[in-house]
Amino acid sequence: MAAIDGLPPLRDVIARHGLDARKALGQNFLLDLNLTQKIARTAGPLEGVTVFEVGPGPGGLTRAILSLGAKKVIAVERDARCLPALAEIADHYPGRLEVIEGDALKTDFEAMAPEGPVKIIANLPYNVGTQLLINWLLPKTWPPFWESLTLMFQKEVGLRIVAREDDDHYGRLGVLCGWRTQAHMAFDVPPQAFTPPPKVTSSVVHLIPRAEPLPCDVGKLERVTLAAFGQRRKMLRQSLKPLGGEALLAKAGIDPARRAETLSVAEFVALANNL
Ligand code: SAM
């Protein structure tokens, strides 16, 4: 039976192309097009939008994005075994799917960004997901080349992305994401939705760039958060000692008896700007 977009069901595509999932490539495939459409819809309207996707695999999410009207999908996939399956999708949607065989970590998405709106949507391979997010948060120019990021992570990583002060999951990633974006959890996806099922629950996270993040040197922000969260149970007067300790805290107007996880993003920025 054909799937909703007239292409064969993903289970058949995977069998026909011999796409047995490889753990080293973080391959956990989504076969339910209703679920992949739900993920794609989280990105908002796609008409007229170019979507960058990382790791299309057999193409479940790619098909959802195209069926919802994206102008074009540019997908970067490392596993050459997936290319024939993706070529079938490209034939079904002439001129709307470009597949680049390569490593997303080495891909300059900013340089590839076309004129017009760009959104990034991906069910990320878990081993490289956080690094890709950090790369997208730190492009050469801001506002960035993307209008939104709609990304699937392990739930634990998703919680760290959206965490703010006084939350156990708050840490370096939460500060970076909170500085540059407004991030929220969209929904969880249970292990059994994937083939093969991963060990843990996943979450879809949606991030919108802040038009004007507080001015700050990212290298300094990283030094401050590394020191502060490196000893997260200690008072800041202790954990920030190598960076100036009490004198630095006084300049930023922060009580030296506080702990890292109580500081807002704005307070971390104040510390970085006084380094
Ligand atoms: N999008 C598909 C889906 O939702 O069913 C597959 C998602 S699977 C979690 C991750 C995909 O990323 C796999 O197809 C894998 O081959 C690919 N991948 C892994 N590492 C990659 C990398 N460094 N660059 C590009 N793709 C990568």
- ipTM, interface predicted TM-score of the complex: 0.99
Q: Does pLDDT of 1 surpass 70? A: no
Residue 182 DSSP one-character state: E
Contact 150, 42 (CB under 8 A): yes
% residues pLDDT > 90 (the chain): 97
- Closest residue by Cα to atom 1, ligand 1, is 56
pTM for the predicted model, two decimal places: 0.97
Q: If you measure from the C-alpha of residue 58 to the centroid of ligand 1, how many angstroms do you get, rounded to a whole number?
A: 9
Q: Is 77 annotated as a binding residue?
A: yes
% residues pLDDT > 70 (the chain): 99
Q: What is the distance between the alpha carbons of residues 221 and 200, in angstroms, rounded to a whole number?
A: 31
Residues with CB under 6 A from ligand 1: 25-30, 54-57, 60-61, 76-79, 82, 103-105, 123, 125, 128
- Closest residue by Cα to atom 21, ligand 1, is 78
Nearest atom within ligand 1 for CA of residue 122: 1
Q: pLDDT digits over 61-88, tens only?
A: 999 999 999 999 999 999 999 999 999 9
Q: pLDDT digits over 104-117, tens only?
A: 999 999 999 999 99
Q: Is 212 annotated as a binding residue?
A: no
Q: If you measure from the C-alpha of residue 6 to the centroid of ligand 1, how many angstroms do you get, rounded to a whole number?
A: 24
Q: Is 86 annotated as a binding residue?
A: no
What pLDDT shows up at residue 126?
86
Nearest atom within ligand 1 for CA of residue 22: 16
What pLDDT shows up at residue 89?
98
Give 113-181 as a DSSP string.
--SS-EEEEEE--TTTHHHHHHHHHS-SSSS-S-SEEEEEEEHHHHHHHH--TT-TT-SHHHHHHHHHE
Q: Is residue 22 very low, low, confident or very high in pLDDT (cuts 50, 70, 90)?
A: very high
Q: If you measure from the C-alpha of residue 17 to the centroid of ligand 1, how many angstroms do you get, rounded to a whole number?
A: 16
Q: What is the distance between the alpha carbons of residues 109 and 176, in angstroms, rounded to a whole number?
A: 20
Q: Does pLDDT of 24 surpass 60? A: yes
| Partners of 29 in the β-ladder | 195
Q: pLDDT digits over 44-62, tens only?
A: 999 999 999 999 999 999 9
What pLDDT shows up at residue 2?
56
Domains by residue range for the chain, with CATH = 10-209 (3.40.50.150), 218-273 (1.10.8.100)
